[in-house]
Amino acid sequence: MTGRVIKDYFAAFRWGNFKEKVAHFAYLVFYFFAILPTIVGFFETWESALIYVLMMIPTIHILNSGSLHIMKMPKMMYMVPLTKEMKREYIVKSAIFRICFCSLLGMICTLPLMLLGLCSAITYVIIAYDYVTFALLLCGMNERYGLEERNAWQEARSDCRGLIQGIDMIITVISLFLIACMLSWDTNEGMKNIYENLLFIIPAILFQLPLTIKHMKYWSTAVEKALSYERSFDK
Amino acid sequence: MLLQLKDISKSLGKFRIKDISVELPEGYIMGLIGPNGSGKTSLIHIILGLYKANAGELLIDGMSYEDSEVEIRNLIGTVLLDELFDHSATLKENGINYGAYYKNFSLEILEMYMKRFGLDGDRKFKKLSKGEKLKFQFAFALSYEAKLLILDEPTANFDPSFRKEFFAVLKEYIADGTKSVILSTHLTEDLDKIADYILYIEKGSTIFSGDIEKLRDTYRLITGEKYKINLLPKEQVIHVEEGNYGTRALVNHRLRYTYDKEVTVAVPTLEELMYFITKRDKGDKRR
pLDDT in tens, A185-235: 666 665 555 666 666 667 666 766 776 676 667 777 778 888 888 888 766
Distance to chain B for A92, nearest Cα, Å: 19
d(CA B230, CA B232): 5
User: Residue B7: CA atoms inside 13 Å, Cβ hemisphere, count?
Assistant: 2
pLDDT in tens, B237-247: 888 988 877 89
Examine the domain organization and report whether B53 and B159 are in the same domain: yes
Return the CATH number at B199: 3.40.50.300
d(CA A71, CA A98): 10
ipTM over 0.90: no
Please indicate whether residue B100 or residue A134 has the higher confidence score (pLDDT).
B100
Quick one: DSSP state of residue A14?
S
Mean pLDDT of chain B: 89
Candidate from A76, A83, A150 with C-beta closest to B84: A76
pLDDT in tens, A16-46: 666 666 666 677 777 777 777 776 666 777 7
Q: Is residue B139 part of a domain?
A: yes
Q: Could you tell me the maximum CA-CA distance found in chain B, to the nearest angstrom?
A: 66
Q: Determine, for residues B86 and A16 on separate chains, whether the beta-carbon distance falls below 8 Å.
A: no
Examine the domain organization and report whether B76 and B152 are in the same domain: yes
Please indicate whether residue B41 or residue A113 has the higher confidence score (pLDDT).
B41
Distance to chain A for B88, nearest Cα, Å: 7
Q: Determine, for residues A82 and B52 on separate chains, whether the beta-carbon distance falls below 8 Å.
A: no
Phi/psi at B207 (nearest 5 deg)?
A: -95, -40
Q: Is residue B286 part of a domain?
A: no
Q: Could you state, in order of their start, the residue ranges of all structural domains in chain A?
A: 2-232
d(CA B58, CA B5): 5
Q: Determine, for residues B87 and A82 on separate chains, whether the beta-carbon distance falls below 8 Å.
A: no
Examine the domain organization and report whether B17 and B95 are in the same domain: yes
Share of chain A above pLDDT 70, in %: 59
Chain B residues within 8 angstroms (CB to CB) of chain A? 11-13, 41, 45, 48, 50-52, 69-71, 73-74, 76, 78, 82, 84-88, 97-98, 101-103, 126
**Cβ distance B138 to B79 under 8 Å?**
yes
d(CA A104, CA A71): 20
User: Residue A67: CA atoms inside 13 Å, Cβ hemisphere, count?
Assistant: 18
Quick one: average pLDDT of B63-73? 93
CB contacts of B76 in chain A (<8 Å) are 79
Q: Is residue B155 part of a domain?
A: yes
SS3 B138: helix
User: Looking at chain A, which residue has its C-alpha nearest residue B102?
Assistant: A81
Candidate from A7, A81, A150 with C-beta closest to B102: A81
- The alpha-carbon radius of gyration of chain A (Å, integer) is 19
Q: Determine, for residues A79 and B52 on separate chains, whether the beta-carbon distance falls below 8 Å.
A: no
As for how many domains chain B has, the answer is: 2
d(CA A62, CA A65): 5
pLDDT in tens, A162-188: 555 566 666 666 766 666 666 666 666
User: Looking at chain A, which residue has its C-alpha nearest residue B46?
Assistant: A230
Please indicate whether residue A168 or residue A110 has the higher confidence score (pLDDT).
A110
- At B178 the pLDDT is 93
Q: Determine, for residues A7 and B86 on separate chains, whether the beta-carbon distance falls below 8 Å.
A: yes
Q: Determine, for residues A147 and B73 on separate chains, whether the beta-carbon distance falls below 8 Å.
A: no
User: Looking at chain B, which residue has its C-alpha nearest residue A82?
Assistant: B70
Candidate from A75, A79, A230 with C-beta closest to B73: A79
Examine the domain organization and report whether B199 and B223 are in the same domain: no
pLDDT in tens, B274-285: 888 877 766 554
CB contacts of A82 in chain B (<8 Å) are 70, 73, 101
- At B94 the pLDDT is 93
d(CA A215, CA A80): 31
Q: Is residue B180 part of a domain?
A: yes
Examine the domain organization and report whether B240 and B133 are in the same domain: no
User: Residue A227: CA atoms inside 13 Å, Cβ hemisphere, count?
Assistant: 15
Examine the domain organization and report whether B14 and B148 are in the same domain: yes
d(CA A224, CA A150): 17
Q: Which of A143-147, B14-18, B252-256 has the lowest mean pLDDT?
A: A143-147
Examine the domain organization and report whether B87 and B133 are in the same domain: yes
Cα angle vertex B276, ends B270, B278, to 5°?
A: 95
Quick one: average pLDDT of B115-134? 93
Distance to chain B for A148, nearest Cα, Å: 8
Examine the domain organization and report whether B232 and B136 are in the same domain: no
| Residue range(s) defining the domain that contains residue B176 | 3-203
**Cβ distance B217 to B61 under 8 Å?**
no
Residue B204 clears pLDDT 80, i.e. is over it: yes
Distance to chain B for A145, nearest Cα, Å: 12
Examine the domain organization and report whether B174 and B232 are in the same domain: no
Examine the domain organization and report whether B45 and B105 are in the same domain: yes
pLDDT in tens, B132-181: 999 999 999 999 999 999 999 888 888 888 988 999 999 999 999 999 99
Beta bridge partners of B151: B79, B183
SS3 B204: coil
Quick one: average pLDDT of B86-94? 91
Q: How far apart are the first and last CA of chain B?
A: 36
